[in-house]
Structure 1
Amino acid sequence: MTNATSTRPEDLRENMIIHIRAAGHLHSTRIEQAFRSVPRHRFVPAASTEEAYQNRAITIKPGKDRPASCISVPTVVAMMLDQLNPQPGDHILEIGAGTGYNAALLATLVGDTGSVTTVDIHPDVTDHARRTLTDTGFEQVQVVTADGALGHAGNAPYDKIIVTVGPWDLPPAWFDQLSVGGTLVVPLHWRGQARSVAFTRHDTHLRADNSRLCGFIPMIGIVPTGERTGTITDNVALYWDTDQNIDPHALRGVFTEPATTVWSNVHVVANEPFDHIWLWLTATEPGTCRLDAEDDAIEAGLCTPAFAYRTPTLVDGDSLAYLTTPRRAEQPGPNGERHYELGATGHGPAAAHLAQRIIDQIHRFDRDRSAQPLITAYPADTADTKQSTGTAIHKSHTHLIMIP
């Protein structure tokens, strides 16, 4: 049995694996063994051994407002490796070298017949990754200093590409350098959310039926950024995309309007995720965006979002509605557990109508809580989007089609 109080790296690594498994992210014995064999603490030498195995990110390069580079949370690393499913012999491109730890896991999984190329825009980050990879016996990983949006044509085509920074768009190089039938796992931003999407490359497009909520450092470089933000009242802002017709000025007085809250009669237990509601909204509602409310605004009673800084919201002209703080049910659930009812709160002339539209997607979520819409990504210059049905999300290099 693992000693929970031990400070031996091997014991701490086992405890980390137990935590990852409990979070539901270790479905592969091969990936679990890779976590067991790669010494995470040696990729973050400035941190203590105990810190290295905690379920949190560790910064290796600070930035102005947020870290410029870090080692990702272990559960997120495992989640994305599960989506990527690296196999022996695979040739893999990683965008975002970080500490080199993820590249070491990938190299372990692809074996001697495969290859790993990792790219980062920061020379000091690639220096760190190259040093740690060499020190831990993974000198076969090729570390490249370049803008990740360009990929690395020298080793293309790749069987799989994994992106460990958060882009708003999909650069053409990633599509061009990925083999047909290959997998691209990328924490893509749209409609105010970020989700790790597992795309499969087809002749003319990418397609995914698997995405998971996540958060990553935004990508810098030549990849375009198309998210916009605007303040609608003190300590409350909206985030939306450039292809959306959202005017924050039209909403300046929206919280002076009476609130209308509609309840769904759909319940979740404590800590049960319900992020698929946001995903369904992006597939059905063109006005889906993100509400960012500071604690002061919530404490003042201006709004009651489900999550302070990241709550899905619908905007239509001078009205909005958002997923509201779930209310605790008076009676316990079937197994005696606490459970909470989901609802939506609206403000403005169309408050009730917008709140009900969120309720509709809560009911859709409740019919099959594991279901997701199909996501298809076309290069922006293709004509195939004209043939597609579904909700279109237009980016600079890519058109996403969300099919409920």
Structure 2
Amino acid sequence: METDTTTLSPESLRAEMVAKVRAGGWAERGEVERVLRDTPRHRFLPDADLELAYHPYRAVVTHRFDNGRSLSCASAPWLVAGMLDQLDVQPGHRVLEIGAGTGYNACLLAQLTGRADLVTTVDINPDVAARASRALADTGFGGVHVVTGDGVLGYPEHAPYDRMIATVSPWDLPAPWWQQLAPGGRLVAPLRWRGQGRSVAFTRTGDRLVSDSLVLCGFVYLVGDGEGELSGAITSDGLVTLHWDRDQDVRPDALLGVLDQPRVTTWSDVTLGRQESHEDLWLRLTATDPRVCRLGVTGDVPPEVCDPVPGYWRMALVDGGTLAYLTLRRVTIADEARCELGVIGHGPAAAELTEHLCGEIRAWAPDRHRHSPTLTVHPAGAPDSELAGTAIDKTHSRFVLTYDDPPR
């Protein structure tokens, strides 16, 4: 039976929110749970009703671009808690936040470090920054430094920082962030590579950043991050698009109309239960296959044209004029409803590419619950001889994803 939230106080809703976040495995650190419980989130979201403000799994959009796309939002509480777990703020730490949002996260950071003046939050949009500043002042945390500026540049005036957190999604880690993070400091950022996104927690170790935690997530993109990710329509009506990184050899003109070519479908025999995800397959392939991209499919596209796994953003492989992407079908095994993963391909090498991707699914399946990777980020000039694997090259850095058990 659902709770009647219309009769509950903000305090009751907040307690219920924290309980659900904790039950989901977030706010594992006691101090993170404490600040979530003590902070009136609704006062940073005056235009949202209480139920939405304290919904544990929903983000709240607060500003939009003229085209309707989200410019700024308050992240869902579970993700706020998870990223604060990753950041591990200790009393006395100097903290930089990229993306002021509503000011809520800066308020939490100020309580974790113990002094509001040790927290600096930067936002490129003056309206967003002004609103965050007012909310912080109104809740007793006016000592937080709210700066209107380009987050790509960080904020050198208060560096070095013991902790840095980005609440907008960068395609790369800008050089100023490296320069402003103290040795041994931690940085948490929702990074993007090969079309997928993870909140990654790093420790600065010498001249590199080494991860110890990756959490699946999606965020508003960092404004001013450059054209690291490219995109192009592959259907004449523009309803199916492909997105790829700048360092990838993708020619969208060779793929325009590829979905009109004959379809090849191959099934993997790998099935998933109701609570199982295939997202780690995408992550794993980014370590070994430079052809991994992202397919965007609107709800207006009929399955006979394009029939990917559910969701707007889906993994695909591109090889010249050939496209392959994940699909699924419902099956019943021992009276249990499951979904079988398969691959649909179009183009001259569709048979080969679909079979290749099914082979990757079969190789991934036995290990999908046991292994997590390490993402190591090197400066852009690092030679190949210093890298533990194949580099994904960005503007300011080189990403290397490695597994204890090398992907087969």
- Structures share fold, TM-score greater than 0.5: yes
Number of aligned residue pairs: give it. 396
> Whole-Å Cα distance in 2 between the matches of residues 348 and 22 of structure 1?
46
Displacement of 1:174 after TM fit? 0.7
Match of 2:406 in 1: none
Aligned in 2, Cα 1:158/1:323: closer, same or farther, shift over 3 Å? same
Match of 2:263 in 1: 259
Q: Which residues in structure 2 correspond to 1:159-238 (within 5 Å)? A: 159-221=162-224, 223-233=225-235, 234=237, 235-238=239-242
Displacement of 1:262 after TM fit? 2.4
| Partner AA of 2:111 in structure 1 | T
Aligned in 2, Cα 1:374/1:174: closer, same or farther, shift over 3 Å? same
Match of 1:284 in 2: 288
> Helix, strand or coil for the counterpart of 1:284?
coil
Match of 1:41 in 2: 42
Match of 1:371 in 2: 371
| Partner AA of 1:354 in structure 2 | L
Match of 2:58 among 42, 47, 56: 56
Deviations 1:307-357 (CA, angstroms, capped at 9, x unpaired):
342111111111121111x2222125xxx7532222222222222322233
The question of whether the paired residues in 2 share the 8 Å contact of 1:365 and 1:371 is answered with no
Aligned in 2, Cα 1:85/1:273: closer, same or farther, shift over 3 Å? farther
> Helix, strand or coil for the counterpart of 1:290?
strand
Deviations 1:182-203 (CA, angstroms, capped at 9, x unpaired):
1111111211122111122111
> Helix, strand or coil for the counterpart of 2:70?
coil
Report the TM-score when normalising by structure 1. Answer: 0.92
> Whole-Å Cα distance in 1 between the matches of residues 31 and 212 of structure 2?
23
Match of 1:349 in 2: 348
Q: Which residues in structure 2 correspond to 1:3-402 (within 5 Å)? A: 5=5, 6-54=7-55, 55-65=57-67, 66-112=69-115, 115-221=118-224, 223-233=225-235, 234=237, 235-297=239-301, 299-324=302-327, 326-332=328-334, 338-362=337-361, 363-383=363-383, 385-402=384-401
Displacement of 1:124 after TM fit? 1.6
> Whole-Å Cα distance in 2 between the matches of residues 357 and 108 of structure 1?
51
> Whole-Å Cα distance in 2 between the matches of residues 352 and 155 of structure 1?
56
Aligned in 2, Cα 1:50/1:158: closer, same or farther, shift over 3 Å? same
Displacement of 1:85 after TM fit? 1.9
> Whole-Å Cα distance in 1 between the matches of residues 95 and 365 of structure 2?
35
Moved more, 314-323 or 67-76: 67-76
Aligned in 2, Cα 1:361/1:180: closer, same or farther, shift over 3 Å? farther
- State the identity %: 47
Pairwise CA RMSD = 2.0
> Helix, strand or coil for the counterpart of 2:333?
coil
Moved more, 179-188 or 37-46: 179-188
> Helix, strand or coil for the counterpart of 2:332?
coil
Q: Which runs of 5+ in 2 are unaligned?
A: 404-408
> Helix, strand or coil for the counterpart of 2:391?
strand
| Partner AA of 2:287 in structure 1 | A
Displacement of 1:276 after TM fit? 0.8
Moved more, 360-369 or 156-165: 360-369
Deviations 1:127-153 (CA, angstroms, capped at 9, x unpaired):
111111111111232111111111111
Report the TM-score when normalising by structure 2. Answer: 0.91
> Whole-Å Cα distance in 2 between the matches of residues 258 and 193 of structure 1?
28
> Whole-Å Cα distance in 1 between the matches of residues 151 and 87 of structure 2?
18
Q: Which runs of 5+ in 1 are unaligned?
A: none
| Partner AA of 1:349 in structure 2 | P
Aligned in 2, Cα 1:188/1:256: closer, same or farther, shift over 3 Å? same
> Whole-Å Cα distance in 2 between the matches of residues 3 and 33 of structure 1?
23
> Whole-Å Cα distance in 2 between the matches of residues 88 and 338 of structure 1?
49
Moved more, 154-163 or 14-23: 14-23
Displacement of 1:365 after TM fit? 4.6
> Whole-Å Cα distance in 2 between the matches of residues 276 and 300 of structure 1?
24
Aligned in 2, Cα 1:77/1:402: closer, same or farther, shift over 3 Å? same
